[in-house]
Structure formats: C-alpha cells, structure tokens
Amino acid sequence: MFSFKENSIERKITLLINVLSERSMPLKPIRKVAILNNPKSKLNFENLKYVQRALNLSSSQFDIFTFKEKNDHYNELRGIVADKSVFSTFGNIKTPEILEFLDRRYDLLLDFTAMTNLYEKYLSLSIKASFRIGYFNEDELYDFMLNIPKGNIKLFADESVKYLRIIGLLKP
C-alpha cells in the first residue's frame, strides 16, 4: 500500500509518461549526457571512464545523479546524491540542487538504475533528455531499451554506442 507521498508520485509518473509519449525526438549529436545511477547499478569510477571513452566525450559533458536508500553505503561518484527524504509529503522535490539538475536539458540519458523503485522511475522520467536509454522494462519509458544483464556497465555502454551510431547520434 502506497503512502500519500507515493500516491502523489505515482500520479506525477502517469503525467510524465503522457508527456514523453507525445514528444518528438530531434536527432542531433550528443554533447551533454545525464546518468541516473543507484548503488546496485555497479557504476564505479572505472566504469564511468569506460562509458566516457565509449561515447568519446569528456567528463565535463556528463552529469551524474545517484538515488540511494537511506542506509545504502555507496562510494559516491561526483554529482548529486539523493534519497526519499528529498521528496515532500505531496511528492514534490524540495531540494534546489535536484530541481536545477532536472531543469537542465540533455542530449542523452543513460539510466543504469533498472528503476527498482517508484522514486527512481519518477526521477528518470523527470530528466529532460532528447534520447533515453535504459534496461528493458514493461513500461517502455525509453527511446531505446537494452535487454542485457543489469549491472553490466561495459556491455550497456558498448550496446548503446553501437545503436547510437546506427541511429546517427554518434559519429563512427
């Protein structure tokens, strides 16, 4: 059973899904990337560098957002780290730093979370990205979904690059 906060977030998710389904995707080269991460995703510094090299982008072109449970011990990468406490009773985000992150525009979202909870799903949908890649799920919330083992960051990066080149968003 959901709390009032979770019911509010669920309604917001429904609205965001409708907005995403109606948007058009302008295809343009990737210059700015948002990464959504959690401690279970196995994204560490080495894997992050691998993703940056695979996309042929510098670290300054990446913004990282990590969602964790309150008791998770996580070797945090640079970027924003949040837990459920950043949401108000009404499901609104109450932290200016997170609101600023969600207000930025990105060419690509790489969602490594596999959306294991309602909060990650909401955050993933709230990131303004022209093209979205994530793990396969029944919600079909991404422009491209990878049906690969969760947590295999290098395979995720390799497959993303392969298809981004085919689509024309990355140069060969």
pLDDT classification of 87: cutoffs 50, 70, 90: very high
Say whether 75 sits in a helix, a strand or coil: coil
C-alpha span between 156 and 78 (Å, rounded): 20
Average pLDDT of the residues in 68-86? 80
What mean pLDDT, rounded, does the chain reach? Answer: 88
pLDDT classification of 20: cutoffs 50, 70, 90: confident
Instruction: Indicate if the pLDDT at residue 75 is higher than 80.
Output: no
Average pLDDT of the residues in 70-89? 82
Say what the pTM is.
Answer: 0.89
Domain ranges across the chain: 4-21+30-167
More confident: 131 or 78? 131
Fold of 4-21+30-167: Rossmann fold (3.40.50)
Least confident of 45-49, 83-87, 107-111, 134-138: 134-138
Least confident of 61-65, 72-76, 144-148, 154-158: 72-76
Instruction: Indicate if the pLDDT at residue 138 is higher than 80.
Output: no
Alpha carbon of residue 27 to chain centroid: 19
Question: pLDDT at position 108, please?
Answer: 95
Average pLDDT of the residues in 121-135? 93
Least confident of 34-38, 46-50, 135-139: 135-139
Share of residues in the chain with pLDDT > 70 (%):
94
- Assess contact for 143 and 133: CB atoms under 8 A: yes
C-alpha span between 100 and 85 (Å, rounded): 17
Question: pLDDT at position 40, please?
Answer: 86
Question: pLDDT at position 1, please?
Answer: 59
Instruction: Indicate if the pLDDT at residue 167 is higher than 70.
Output: yes
C-alpha span between 92 and 98 (Å, rounded): 11
